[in-house]
């Protein structure tokens, strides 16, 4: 502005105009420069963007290639794995098949071995011993002693197992000692989940033997609460037997055996067999007839005695034998008899039977004269037996037989003078009283007396087995009424099966070991070949 001082307005305006033009010029050149610079920059950016895009697409292509390779490799891997899997599956299938084959072969071999073992048992007259381990039950927890919870838990711990179907494994542990496993072998071992069906399945062949002419005895041995009565009869409801239960799967050996006997008889010629039942209890070394009736026909137990006959057999004179036509008649009778059986609660079991129960089915078979002497399997024994039971029944006698045995059994028509023979075979089913020692049952007074009688009779049984095992000339059958009554089955010509019953809990370890010891000794008894009563060949029976 200093330069403008003293200048005219025109000059000033001109000056301004010239300056404006100059500035305009300058501005436009600036704009151009700027434009250029921007353009250059844009070009550069575009170029780098382009090269970046190129790089990116290259990288993308490279990476997608790698990915593709990876995917391909993975797919290949999966395919390989699939193939390997298929191979494994095939191998597993092959293995499964061969395992199945081996198992089948093993089962066959086992059956063969069992059959051989059975023949051996038969030849040697061994006592068969089956062992059943019952499940742990709520009452196993019940204290009865004032002991700590920990100790209580220990006591109800399971220590007896079925290692397999022929082996019992017992974990024996004492405080402060390492536990030892002990094993016991028997003809058959049932684990705690095996049903009454399974137990009976192994008993059934003995009943076929019964009708083939063998005497059979099945006895349950074990401490109180180990499942003897459950195994022999079935579950008890309020101390009574639920025989008529709809659920037949719970029935024990006695009702099932009777059903089976009648089923087998139904396949034979009608009228040639009849069945009689006796129910006896051995209580405090006395024998009671549980089917005896008073003059009003009411059953009440009467004391009987056991004697040895001239033939050296044991017999109970005056014992009531009731003829039964079918299994339900039998069950009705046994149920009535059982109501008279002595029972007292013990610490171990609320419905503990304090007596030995012996249910006997006597099967009388009529054999007709035509067949005598032709088809006996054992001639010598046949002659002896002919002497024993062969007789000539006139028609009247035969009628009286059928009348006394039963009104309804359809008698066979035969000639008045035809020679017939009666052959009797016997099935004895025994539910022994508990084998525990006095301390375990926690009884006193009269019950203590009962227990000592039970113990004495069971040790008499063990002594008898011991004497037979050692083939001593004198077998002390008469030391107790129980052994005297069972003499023919234990020492004589019967197929004998001992059903050992075991409680699995630690609390009962001593008792279980005692029972297992009894079973082991019983297995070692050899009584000589079991004799068959003489029957004609079935095809020849009339
Ligand atoms: P024991 O006659 O030896 O004294 P029980 O047969 O009376 O013994 O059995 C004692 C209890 O155990 C009963 O309540 C019975 O129902 C139950 N029991 C026994 N064995 C079995 C088993 N295998 N399965 C289920 N319950 C059983
Ligand atoms: Mg019982």
225, 240, 353: residue to mutate for ligand 1 pocket, most atoms within 8 A of CB: 225
Q: How far is the CA of 258 from the centre of ligand 2 (A)?
A: 20
333 CA distance to ligand 2 middle (Å): 19
Where residue 147 falls among pLDDT bands split at 50, 70, 90? low
Residues 138-159: what's their mean pLDDT? Answer: 65
Q: Coil, helix or strand for 125?
A: coil
**What is the rounded average pLDDT for all residues in the chain?**
81
Closest Cα to atom 9 of ligand 1: 227
Give yes or no: residues 103 and 131 share one domain.
no
Q: What percent of the chain has pLDDT over 70?
A: 79
Percent of the residues in the chain that have a pLDDT greater than 90, as a whole number: 47
pTM: 0.73
Q: Is 503 in the pocket of ligand 1 (CB under 6 A)?
A: no
Q: Could you report the per-residue pLDDT of 123-146, keeping only the tens digit for each? A: 777 889 999 999 998 878 765 454
What's the pLDDT band for 302 if we cut at 50, 70, 90? confident
User: Tell me, what DSSP letter sits at residue 351?
Assistant: T
Q: Are residues 214 and 346 in the same domain?
A: yes
What are the distances in angstroms from CA 445 to CA 197, 438, 451, 459, 480? 40, 11, 10, 21, 22
CA 323 to centroid of ligand 2, rounded, Å: 26
For position 404, what pLDDT does the model report?
38
pLDDT at 422: 85
- 51 lies in the same domain as 196: no
Q: Is the pLDDT of residue 363 over 80?
A: yes
For residue 69, being part of any structural domain is answered with yes
In angstroms and rounded to an integer, the radius of gyration of the C-alpha atoms of the chain is: 47
Beta-bridge partner residues of 360: 278, 428
Count of structural domains, the chain: 2
**Cα separation of 241 and 250, whole Å?**
11
Classify strands 167-172 and 160-164 as parallel, antiparallel or unpaired. antiparallel
- Tell whether the model's pLDDT for residue 254 goes beyond 80: yes
HSE-up (13 A, CA, CB side) for residue 262: 18
Q: Can you give the length of the chain in residues?
A: 542
Q: Looking at the predicted structure, is the pLDDT value of residue 194 above 90? A: yes
The closest residue, in CA terms, to atom 18 on ligand 1 is: 227
Least confident interval from 75-79, 108-112, 368-372, 528-532 = 368-372
Nearest C-alpha to atom 22 of ligand 1 is from which residue? 134
CA 369 to ligand 1 center in whole angstroms: 48
Q: Are both 90 and 227 inside the same structural domain?
A: no
pLDDT band at 148 (very low <50, low <70, confident <90, very high): low
The model's confidence at residue 533, banded by pLDDT at 50, 70 and 90, is low
Q: Please work out whether the CB of residue 501 comes within 6 Å of at least one atom of ligand 1.
A: yes
Q: Is 5 helix (H, G, I), strand (E, B) or coil?
A: coil
My answer on whether 133 and 108 are in the same domain is no
Average pLDDT over residues 350-367: 84
pLDDT at 358 over 50: yes
Shared domain check, 88 and 211:
no
Spacing of C-alpha 528 from chain mean position: 30
User: Could you tell me the pLDDT band of residue 87, with boundaries at 50, 70 and 90?
Assistant: very high
pLDDT digits (tens, 9 = 90+) for 364-387: 988 776 544 433 333 333 433 343
Compute the distance between CA of residue 12 and CA of residue 15 in angstroms, rounded to an integer.
Answer: 5
Confidence band, pLDDT 50/70/90 cuts, at residue 412: very low
Contact 354, 341 (CB under 8 A): no
Among 154-163, 355-364, 443-452, top mean pLDDT goes to 355-364
Q: Is the CB of 224 under 6 A from ligand 1?
A: yes
Grouping H, G, I as helix, E, B as strand and the rest as coil, residue 299 is strand
Identify the helix (H) or strand (E) that includes residue 320. none
Same domain? For 78 and 199 the reply is: no
442 Ramachandran zone, left/alpha/beta (phi>0; psi -120 to 50): left
> Is the minimum distance from the CB of 349 to ligand 1 under 6 angstroms?
yes
User: Which residue has better confidence, 334 or 7?
Assistant: 334
Beta carbons of 228 and 221 less than 8 angstroms apart: yes
Would you say residue 143 lies in a domain?
no
User: pLDDT higher for 350 or 530?
Assistant: 530
Q: Is 360's pLDDT higher than 60? A: yes
Residue 461: name the closest of 219, 122, 184, 130 by CA: 219
Return the pLDDT at 113: 86
pLDDT of residue 142: 62
Q: Which residues neighbour 319 within 8 Å (Cβ) at sequence distance 6 or greater?
A: 278, 280, 289, 304
Residue 538 maps to a domain: no
Question: Is ligand 1 within 6 A of the CB of residue 241?
Answer: no
Band of pLDDT at residue 343, cut at 50, 70 and 90: low
> Taking 60 as the threshold, does the pLDDT of residue 13 lie above it?
yes
For the cut 50, the answer to whether the pLDDT of residue 481 exceeds it is: yes
Q: Look at residue 212 and tell me if it is in a domain.
A: yes
Tell me if 136 sits within 8 A of 504, measured CB to CB.
yes
Give the residue carrying structure tokens 């016991």: 184
**Co-location of 211 and 299 in the same domain:** yes
pLDDT score at 432: 93
Q: Measured from the CB, is residue 198 less than 6 Å from ligand 1?
A: no
Please, which residues have CB within 8 angstroms of residue 25's CB and are 6 or more apart in sequence?
none
Instruction: Return the CATH number at 162.
Output: 3.40.850.10
- State the closest ligand 1 atom to the C-alpha of 196, by its place in the atom list counted from 1: 23
Residue 377 lies in a domain: no
Q: Note the helical H segments in 281-350.
A: 327-338
Q: In this structure, are 131 and 81 located in the same domain?
A: no
Q: Look at residue 3 and tell me if it is in a domain.
A: no
Q: Which ligand has an atom closest to residue 343 CA? A: 2
DSSP E strands in 73-178: the ranges are: 128-133, 160-164, 167-172
Say how far apart CA 500 and CA 482 lie, in whole Å: 18
Q: pLDDT, tens digit, for every residue of 18-67?
A: 888 888 999 899 999 999 999 999 999 999 999 999 999 999 999 999 99
Mean pLDDT in residue range 329-353: 72
Residues 99, 133, single domain; the answer is no
Tokens of 532: 């068959």
Q: Name 196's Cβ contacts closer than 8 Å, sequence gap at least 6.
A: 231, 234, 249, 250, 251, 252, 253, 256
What is the CA(208)–ligand 2 centre distance, in A? 27
The answer to whether 206 and 498 have CB atoms below 8 angstroms apart is no
Q: Is the CB of 341 under 6 A from ligand 1?
A: no
Q: For residues 389 and 153, give the distance between their C-alpha atoms in angstroms, rounded to a whole number.
A: 60
Instruction: Please name the residue that has the structure tokens 């048992």.
Output: 121
Mean of the pLDDT values across residues 139-167?
Answer: 72
Q: How many C-alpha atoms does 114 have within 13 Å on its Cβ side?
A: 13
More confident residue, 381 or 461: 461
In a domain, 541, yes or no: no
Residue 351 CB: number of other CB atoms within 10 A?
16
Same domain assignment for residues 131 and 93: no
Residue 376 in domain: no
Q: Are 165 and 113 contained in the same domain? A: no
- Which structural domain range is residue 201 located in? 127-138+155-369+419-526
CA of 157 to the centre of ligand 2 (A): 23
Question: Do β-strands 419-431 and 167-172 pair in parallel, antiparallel, or remain unpaired?
Answer: unpaired
Q: What pLDDT, on the 0 to 100 scale, is given for residue 464?
A: 92
| Contact criterion met (CB below 8 Å) for 542 and 412 | yes
242: tokens are 């639920």
């Amino acid at each position: 502005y200093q330069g403008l001082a003293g200048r005219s307005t025109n000059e000033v305006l001109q000056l301004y105009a010239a300056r404006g033009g100059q500035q305009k010029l300058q501005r436009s050149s600036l704009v151009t420069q700027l434009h250029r610079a921007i353009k250059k920059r844009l070009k550069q950016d575009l170029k780098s963007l382009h090269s970046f895009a190129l790089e990116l697409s290259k990288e993308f292509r490279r990476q997608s290639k790698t990915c593709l390779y990876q995917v391909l490799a993975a797919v290949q891997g999966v395919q390989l794995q699939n193939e390997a899997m298929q191979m494994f599956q095939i191998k597993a299938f092959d293995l499964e098949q061969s395992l199945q084959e081996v198992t089948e072969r093993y089962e066959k071999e086992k059956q063969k071995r069992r059959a051989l073992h059975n023949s051996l048992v038969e030849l040697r007259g061994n006592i068969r011993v089956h062992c059943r381990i019952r499940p742990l039950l709520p009452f196993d927890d019940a204290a009865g002693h004032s002991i700590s919870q920990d100790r209580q838990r220990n006591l109800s711990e399971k220590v007896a197992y079925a290692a397999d179907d022929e082996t019992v494994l017992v974990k024996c542990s004492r405080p402060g000692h390492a536990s030892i496993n002990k094993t016991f072998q028997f003809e058959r071992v049932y684990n705690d989940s095996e049903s009454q069906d399974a137990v009976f399945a192994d008993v059934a062949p003995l009943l076929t033997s019964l009708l083939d002419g063998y005497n059979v005895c099945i006895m349950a041995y074990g401490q109180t609460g180990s499942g003897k009565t459950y195994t022999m009869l079935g579950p008890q409801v309020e101390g009574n037997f639920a025989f008529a239960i709809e659920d037949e799967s719970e029935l024990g050996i006695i009702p099932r055996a009777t059903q089976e006997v009648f089923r087998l008889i139904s396949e034979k010629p009608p009228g040639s067999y009849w069945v009689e039942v006796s129910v006896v209890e051995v209580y405090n070394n006395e024998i009671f007839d549980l089917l005896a009736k008073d003059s009003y026909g009411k059953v009440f137990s009467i004391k009987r005695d056991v004697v040895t006959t001239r033939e050296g057999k044991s017999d109970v004179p005056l014992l009531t034998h009731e003829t039964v036509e079918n299994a339900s008649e039998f069950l009705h009778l046994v149920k009535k008899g059982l109501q008279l059986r002595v029972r007292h609660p013990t610490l171990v079991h609320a419905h503990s039977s304090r007596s030995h129960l012996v249910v006997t089915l006597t099967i009388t078979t009529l054999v007709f004269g035509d067949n005598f002497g032709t088809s006996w399997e054992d001639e010598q024994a046949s002659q002896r037996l002919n002497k024993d039971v062969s007789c000539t029944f006139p028609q009247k006698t035969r009628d009286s037989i059928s009348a006394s045995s039963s009104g309804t059994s359809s008698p066979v028509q035969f000639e008045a003078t035809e020679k017939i023979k009666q052959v009797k075979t016997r099935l004895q089913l025994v539910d022994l009283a508990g084998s525990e020692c006095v301390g375990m049952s926690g009884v006193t007074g009269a019950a203590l007396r009962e227990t000592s009688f039970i113990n004495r009779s069971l040790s008499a049984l063990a002594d008898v087995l011991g004497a037979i095992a050692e083939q001593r000339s004198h077998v002390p059958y008469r030391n107790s009424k129980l052994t005297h009554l069972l003499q023919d089955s234990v020492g004589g010509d019967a197929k004998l099966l001992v059903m050992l019953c075991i409680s699995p809990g630690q609390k009962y370890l001593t008792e279980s070991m005692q029972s297992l010891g009894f079973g082991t000794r019983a297995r070692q008894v050899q009584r000589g070949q079991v004799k068959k009563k003489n029957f004609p060949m079935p095809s020849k029976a009339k």
